[in-house]
Amino acid sequence: MIIKEAVAALGALAQETRLQIFRLLVQAGAEGLAVGVIAERLGTEANGRLSFHLKELAIAGLVSANQSGRFVYYSANYPAMNELLAYLTEHCCGGTPCGIDVVPCDPAKTC
Phi and psi torsions of 69, nearest 5°: 65, -125
What per-residue confidence (pLDDT) applies to 37? 96
Q: What is the pLDDT of residue 102?
A: 59
Query: How far apart, in whole angstroms, are the C-alpha atoms of residue 25 and residue 59?
Result: 16
Spatial CA neighbour of 18 closest among 66, 62, 48? 62
* pLDDT in 10s for each residue of the chain, 111 residues: 889 999 999 999 999 999 999 999 999 999 999 999 999 999 998 888 999 999 999 999 999 999 989 999 999 999 999 999 988 888 777 766 666 565 667 776 655
pTM as predicted: 0.82
CA distances from 39 to 11, 27, 80, 84, 92 (A): 22, 15, 23, 26, 37
Domains of the chain (ranges; CATH) run: 3-89 (1.10.10.10)
